[in-house]
Amino acid sequence: MFELIKKLTEVYGPSGFEDHIRPMIEDEIESLADEISVDALGNLIALKKGKGKGAKLKVMIAAHMDEIGIMVNHITEEGYLRFTNIGGVHARALQGGRVQFENGTIGVIYSDRLTDRSKVHGLNKHYIDVGATSKADCPVNVGDAAGFLRDTFAQGNRVIGKALDDRIGCTVAIETMRALKKSKLQHDVYFVFSVQEEVGVRGATTAANAIGPDVGIALDVTLTGDQHNGPEMAVSLGEGTAIKAKDSGMIAHVGLVNLMKKRAADAKIPFQIEVLAGGSTDARAMQLSGVGAAAGCISIPCRYVHSPSEVVDIRDVQASIDLLVAILSNEIDL
């Protein structure tokens, strides 16, 4: 599984620029679905048809393909690039980092001089150095996007890399599809690899409106409470998948939460309950689109979210796969 994670996380794909990651995922799943399509916004949608004789539900599984990034909004006469954010980019994680543009150009991020080193400049006082000596010889243009550049590696059970939010959710979806390849599912399951989640769950919104799911499950990362001086949360790395009860954008469907807990307990899958104070996921889009859906989220615990060095535990990733397989391969009775 690590090779798949490494492959997915290292590829370029900021929100709105998912054209490199989408075909990579499509190659992984082309033999695992009954139908595959790409909608107008760029969502990759893979349908595995239910074979049950009774009433069928439409189940939507959403994992977003995009990552946070930056976009050039000004080029100085000296050839330095000013930029704005694509998604939740934190200024404190930028200085000395590297970004890569779609054309392969690599740049180093730095900030204007600080007289007080205890402070951090805002994004508007940062710049990217791509080696240009003037505006005229700059290899990128205003409007060009870049993603953060960082290798992915494993250290024991821990996987460290950029874009684990949410390429790790994509990994869970892909591995679940593999596990269910020969299974006869009761319900129609739509695996949606969504776009533009980091800028407002846009892809999942259009996909959910088109599909009209009865049940929606997002696959995404969540914060942990076990990092040094971190948020107070009952979620830790290595303690299992996290079943979301609430975040700032949604309250998960109680029946779906209870079903997740039951399936996990029955299969002896380690799990934790997630209550997230800030942030939300594609589950919010599914819950509110069309006539609404019973929505929830399977979360992968992750340290240092929205930094170039996010950290997950491979045991939690496997527990998330096991839980999703247990849900989809059994009756969904809410």
Per the annotation, the verdict on 28 as an active-site residue is no
Task: Indicate whether 55 pLDDT > 90.
Answer: no
Helices (runs of H) and strands (runs of E) counted in the chain: 7, 17
pLDDT reported for residue 119? 86
Per-residue confidence (pLDDT) for residue 123, from 0 to 100: 93
Q: Report the range of poorest mean pLDDT among 60-64, 229-233, 297-301.
A: 229-233
CA–CA distance, 16 with 42 (Å, rounded to integer) = 8
Domains of the chain and CATH, by start? 2-67+162-328 (3.40.630.10), 69-148 (2.40.30.40)
Rounded to 5°, the CA angle 29-33-35 comes to: 115
What pLDDT, on the 0 to 100 scale, is given for residue 132?
Answer: 97
Share above pLDDT 70 across residues of the chain, in percent, rounded to a whole number: 99
Rounded mean pLDDT of 6-21?
A: 98
The three-class DSSP label of residue 313 is strand
At 183 the pLDDT is 87
- Measure the CA–CA gap between 158 and 154, rounded to whole angstroms: 6
Whether pTM > 0.85 for this model: the answer is yes
Q: What is the bridge-based pairing of β-strands 215-222 and 294-301?
A: parallel
Own/partner pairs, 178-183, CB within 8 angstroms, 24+ separation: 178/32, 179/321, 179/325, 180/32, 180/48, 180/325, 180/328, 180/329, 181/31, 181/32, 183/328, 183/329
Set 197, 198, 239, 310: catalytic member: 197
The 10s digit of each residue's pLDDT in 174-231 is 999 999 998 889 999 999 999 999 999 999 999 999 999 999 999 999 999 998 988 8
Token code pair at residue 298: 């399977």
Which residue in this structure is represented by tokens 């969540």?
222
